[in-house]
Structure 1
């Protein structure tokens, strides 16, 4: 499930949204209110349940790999995910090296959402290896050390902060 030319996508487990209002996400690192969407490069990073921690890596000449913890595999297999299509002109690239697109005013999808389908199969159809690991910490460290392009999403749900694994609590 990728955007068509001139589109960006927003993925959700809720198929009933008819209008998207800018808001400050609970995990936001900035105070501004946005509606978030992604382009073709970043869409595959959202072919997961919302709260699933994952490390998505790619680079020229390197196969794309998405890694999750094994405890999330069943949710990846069973989650019903929907894609909302938006006109890319309603959004602006976000950040110095854009990983997302944002709108600062309410936006409506171009059409009703489309069910994404089997998320494991979708990865295979696009030649993306879905790596299932006991934990993400070592893999995340390796991706960063190799200098690959990456997106690490919901890593707090895997006990990993910006600098690496959170200390073990006793």
Structure 2
């Protein structure tokens, strides 16, 4: 299994466990993501985004509402003013030693380690939107994520992630 850590920092030699600002109830850890979910990090670190996936639990009404005119099973929506930054960002994909990590959240593909971690390999990746499109992901832009977040939280969608929402525009 391949695990990765994505960063806009190009020169990380070692990852030291730390407490994540939105998970202060956890001990310090190093975070990684599996290959199947890596696309959810093809964005600048602070970019607010909503990722949702079609599955059998989605009602017909919600399937029409959220996936209506797309054949993609994955939709990612970001706020319009992030477009240029996404387009111009280069990320660094650090390959992590999977034997140091334990599964934290299977549906999100998150893994954690309490050990200081030295990455195995680093790769610069750019053309983030093109990478998402090549994966047949429906990438959408909206002036404000709040209406979508509210609709998802009231829906039958169960496979979704709301990332960096504190950075989203206020209503």
Q: TM-score per shorter chain, which class?
A: 0.7 to 0.9
Return the offset for 1:147.
Answer: 1.5
Q: Structure 2 matches for 1:1-170, cutoff 5 A?
A: 6-60=1-55, 63-95=73-105, 97=107, 99-111=109-121, 113-144=122-153, 145-158=155-168
Q: 1:97 to 1:44 in 2, by over 3 A?
A: closer
CA distance in 2, matches of 1:37, 1:44: 13
Contact 2:77-2:141 within 8 A present in 1 as well: yes
Query: 1:80 Cα shift?
Result: 1.1
Q: For the structure 1 residues 98 and 150, does the alpha-carbon distance in structure 2 shift closer, same or farther, using more than 3 Å as the test?
A: closer
Give the aligned length: 155
TM-fit CA distance, 1:38 = 0.4
SS at match of 2:86: helix
Q: Cα offset for 1:63?
A: 1.6
Q: TM-score, normalised by structure 2?
A: 0.83
- Partner SS state of residue 83, structure 2: helix
With CA pairs under 8 Å and 6+ residues apart, which has the higher RCO, 1 or 2?
A: 2
Which ranges of structure 1 fall in alignment gaps of 5 or more residues? Answer: 1-5, 160-165
The structure where helix makes up a greater share of residues is 2
TM-score, reference length from structure 1? 0.83
Q: What's the secondary structure of 2:39's corresponding residue? A: helix
SS of alignment partner, residue 93 of structure 2? strand
RMSD after superposition: 1.9
1:99, CA displacement in angstroms? 4.0
